[in-house]
Amino acid sequence: MRQSWGKWFLTDVKRAIKDYAMIAPGDKVAVGLSGGKDSMALLYILSYLRDYSHLSFSLEAILVDAGWAPVDYSRVANFCAERRVPLHIVRHPIAAVIAAKGEKSACSLCAKLRAGLLNSRAKALGCQRVALGHHLDDVIETFFLNLIFAGSLRTFRPAVYLDRIGLHLIRPLSYVPERVLSSLVTQAGIPVLPAVCPHAGRTQRAAMKEIVGFIAERYPEFRRRFRTALENVSFNDLWYQRGGKAAKLPAGAGTSALGEDDLWGEGLEP
């Protein structure tokens, strides 16, 4: 395996895994693989850690094909085979289900169906963990989506336990900025499939990405500071809590707010 991408961001991945006890010895970890850059980078990094770190775990890759368009998965299959990660492709007519229901909440319905298929296949394969490719920019964008559209201070956690299905959902890239993954993909020659979803790039999340990019351009430490802030919440200075659930995010707000929506550092499960 080429290692020219260095180790500095690997420290962030290892730290997230340690901070949130993401992987236990002997675990079988299912990587949710879309073929996009984030989950392909995640597979690359986790297979490296499986081979070259003290962590002892095995990997499976699960790709949900939603039926948006015919896709040639041979490059993804070769990539997985080179890393000795079995690839499971789950085909389901999500696109047709969404078309039948109308477009209104296409992204959240797609994310829900996809998560259900991914988690149940992981469970059937005997996995204890499902790893997703969300990174630090996703964390920050989700925070802004909640702030602007739902009037709530929240984002998703790096790890949660889904007790209904008995699986740990982990996000080992939670501390890593997106641009680092983009350069890893280029430097390591990781194959990436083009997005086939017709809604890609049209969501409110894309608008949040612009806002985050704008702030970070002006204040280069912004992403790192944001992460620090999530671990440094001054609860006493927050206002009286009225309780109740925050308003739902609007249709098209994106797919990452899967309901694991607390601030970091509270009530963590292993």
Ligand X SMILES: Nc1ncnc2c1ncn2[C@@H]1O[C@H](COP(=O)(O)OP(=O)(O)OP(=O)(O)O)[C@@H](O)[C@H]1O
Give the one residue of 19, 27, 36, 251 binding ligand X; rule: CB under 6 A: 36
Per DSSP, helices labelled H in 94-251 are 94-101, 106-124, 136-145, 178-188, 204-218, 222-230
Q: What is the DSSP letter of 63?
A: E
Residue 36, annotated as binding a ligand? no
* Site stretch for ligand X (CB under 6 A), options 13-21, 36-44, 154-162, 207-215: 36-44
Contact between 37 and ligand X by CB under 6 A: the answer reads yes
Residue 33, annotated as binding a ligand? yes
Contact between 134 and ligand X by CB under 6 A: the answer reads yes
Contact between 132 and ligand X by CB under 6 A: the answer reads yes
Give the one residue of 12, 38, 60, 261 binding ligand X; rule: CB under 6 A: 38
* Site stretch for ligand X (CB under 6 A), options 12-20, 28-36, 77-85, 142-150: 28-36
- What amino acid is encoded at 19 in this protein? D
Beta bridge partners of 159: 170
- Residue 242: other Cβ atoms inside 10 A: 5
DSSP labels, 109-122: HHHHHHHHHHHHHH
49-88 positions binding ligand X, by CB under 6 A? 62-64
Give the one residue of 22, 34, 155, 159 binding ligand X; rule: CB under 6 A: 34
88 versus 233: smaller Cβ distance to ligand X: 88
Contact between 16 and ligand X by CB under 6 A: the answer reads no
> In whole angstroms, what is the distance from residue 75 CA to residue 52 CA?
24
Cα distance from N-terminal residue to C-terminal residue, the chain: 31
User: What are the backbone dihedrals phi and psi of residue 161, each rounded to the nearest 5 degrees, phi first?
Assistant: -105, 125
Q: What is the DSSP letter of 85?
A: -
Shortest distance (Å) from residue 89 CB to ligand X: 9
Shortest distance (Å) from residue 137 CB to ligand X: 9
Q: Under the rule (CB under 6 A), what is the footprint of ligand X?
A: 32-34, 36-39, 62-64, 114, 118, 132-134, 255-256
